[in-house]
Structures are given as structure tokens and as C-alpha cells.
Amino acid sequence: MGMFNWTEKSADGSVIAPDERLPWGQTTAMGVQHVIAMFGSTILAPILMGFDPNIAVLMSGIGTLIFFLVTGGKVPSYLGSSFAFIGVVIGATAYAGPGPNANIAIALGGIVLCGLAYIAIGLVVQVVGTGWIERFMPPVVTGAVVAVIGLNLAGIPIKNMAANNFDAWMQVVTFVSVAMVAVFTRGMLQRLLILIGLIAASLIYAVLTNGLGLGKPIDASGILAAPWLGLPTFQTPVFTAHAALLIVPVVIILVAENLGHIKAVTAMTGRNLDQYMGRAFIGDGIATVVSGSAGGTGVTTYAENIGVMAATRIYSTAIFVVAAVIAVLLGFSPKFGAVIQAIPLPVMGGVSIVVFGLIAVAGAKIWVDNRVDFSDNRNLLVAAITLILGTGEFTLRFGDFALGGIGTATFGAIFLYALLGRNKR
């Protein structure tokens, strides 16, 4: 039980290490802040895939607790819904939204298998380290694949989430609201740009529709009728080769995210956490398997929460235990889920434009942060071909099976980088 033995420190402005904590009252307040930080993205991802947001929040809490236990309480991190799954889940299930995804079971099977692959990678890393990952998936490859995920999704909000001209203008209002929060606010408001922008746009939508009758009004009857407490609707996975080949390669992105996050926390805390890298992969993988087995999304370590740690200089893992417990409680509230389901579709479309764009830019940021040299034709061609394969939905068929879009881009990037490096020493 040593992982639960934190040394208490006062809030005097000094750094709070992973094995330390503030008094429990302040620790709880910080836990609430981390729940709020993860809230926008962890709720948005399942909605875009047609998943139950209650289960997604519940599994983010359970996943965070699993991660804490597997890493022995040494790595401060929150696990939330991963956006890397959005494109492949939509592709595997042919989901067009809005509402529940009728083929969610197929996606769950792929998510579970992806989690198992993640665990296997973690076991290998435990034995041999992470050098082999960095050789096969250098920044030029991971950056290209991340960028493709965002670009591949661009058509969804544009084509499917605005039924008329009013809805299209509401998408504009929404992404402008998010952008203004991002630029003109500071502190926690700025960190919650997605959530605050979504709330602002929803209020504007309500005034224009419920108040002025310019569009489809928000229906609050579901919120009023929903009970405060209740069980979410769990789902059972179904395993198919098609979904597996589309979804399992997402493990590449999860590995890159987790690798980068742990190195970031190492830099912030001054403590070398590389020795826990394999355990972090295993913990994340187990959390993804458990989530997919119950009807939840795949999970990953969250940049939003790492940002909060950087701002507060409080890295106590006790905070994440508190945050996880709060998330679990929210998962058992149907009223919370009803509020999420009442968000207007064009508002979600405007938020999606922002989020998918940020995913694409995140891929470019990987290139910039790692100083990828595009005067090297190997890097230039790998990135260029990968972007077009994924964005143009390039498809290869093997009998009755079709591998398209993100799948061809992911495997293509790895294959091209290895092939074009054969003459290099």
C-alpha cells in the first residue's frame, strides 16, 4: 500500500512531487480542477463516435485508477477518451451521426484488440526499452499520422452536422467563440477553451432558436426527466477483421502520446520516469481493454491535465485518484448524460471543426518540436505521401477486405520510412 502513502506538504508555492500531496481539502479541490480540464475532450470524443458519454466518463475514471495502480502511483496522469480513435471508429462503423452508433459493438472489438496490442508493446518495453519504437516510428512518421487523423475527419462537421444555412452560421459562431476564449482569456478559462466556447455557443443558439424561433429549439425535456443516479447502458464487443485492421494501428498514436507525455512530466518534475514507461503503456492498454469491453472509448494520457500540472506545479498522484473517483460518480448520473445529449448538433459541428483542426496541427507540431528536416527527401516524401493517402481516403483491397484512409496512411508511413532508409547507415 506504499503507493497511497503521500507526504503532506503545505501550499506555500513550492513544487508538489508525485509522492507528496496538499492537505486533503486542497487535494480534492485540485482533483475537481483536473476533472474540469479533461471534461470537454472526454465528453466530445464519444459524442462524435456515437458512444454513451456516461460510460466514457465512467471509464475515464476507472482507467485512471487502473493506470495509477499499474504504475505504482509513480506517474501523475489522467486517462481520457482518445481522439485518435474517432476516424477509425467512424470508418469501421459507417457512423454518420447524430445519436447512438448502431454498430458500436464492432468498434468495441477493435478497441479491445488495440488495447491488447498496447499491453504487448508495454511488455516488450519493460524488457528492452523504447529505442526500437523511436527507430520504427520517428517524429516524421508519428507527426504525419496524427495530422492525417485530423484531416481525414474534416468532412464530417462540414457535410453532416449542418442541415441548413442557419446551422452553418451556428458552426461559425461556435468556432469563433472557442477561438475568442483561447485568445482573450487566461488561466483555467483558457485551458477549458472547448468547454467554455461550447457553453457560450449553446447559450447563443438557445436565444436564437428557443427565443427568436430561427432554428430547431433545444429540447430540455430529456434533462428534466432523467434521474440523478442510474446505471449507464453497457455494451458487449464484437470482433471482426475489418474493424481490427482499421482500429488496432491507432496503438502507434497512443504509444507516441504516452511516450511524449511521460517525457514531459519527467522534464517538469525533475524526476526520471523512463523506468515506468513500460508500466505506463501496460496500464493504458489495460484501461483501454476494460473500457472497450464495457462500451467505452479507447483512452490515453491527457495533455489538458499535464497542462494543469505545468501551470500549478502540483504533480501529486493523489489528485488523480480524487479526480478519478469524481469521474466515476458522474458516470452513474443519467441527468449528466442527458445534458450532454441536449447539446445542439451545429454547435457540436463547430466544436468539431476546431478539434479536428487542432489534431491536424498537433501532427505538424510534432515535426516542429522535433526539428524534422524536410530538406531530407526521405522525410519529405514520407510526410507528403502519407498526408494525401489519409486525406484522400486512398483504399487498397485484399479480396473482400478494404483498407482505406487512416489505415493505408499509417501502414504506408511506417513502410515508406523503412524502405527509403535501406541505403542509409
**What is 310-342 written as a DSSP string?**
HHHTB--HHHHHHHHHHHHHHHT-HHHHHHHHT
Q: Which residues of the chain have pLDDT under 70?
A: 1-3, 11-13, 36-37, 39-41, 97, 187-188, 191-192, 260, 303-304, 307-308, 311, 398-404, 422-425
**Location of C-alpha cell 433545444:** 218
pLDDT digits (tens, 9 = 90+) for 196-221: 888 899 999 999 998 888 888 888 88
> What pLDDT is stored for residue 1 in this prediction?
46
- How distant, in Å, are the alpha carbons of 109, 230, 245 from that of 293? 8, 20, 18
Beta carbons of 181 and 193 less than 8 angstroms apart = yes
> What pLDDT is stored for residue 13 in this prediction?
65
pLDDT digits (tens, 9 = 90+) for 361-385: 878 888 888 899 999 999 999 999 9
Beta carbons of 361 and 239 less than 8 angstroms apart = no
Report the residue count for the chain. 425
> What pLDDT is stored for residue 40 in this prediction?
62
> What pLDDT is stored for residue 401 in this prediction?
57
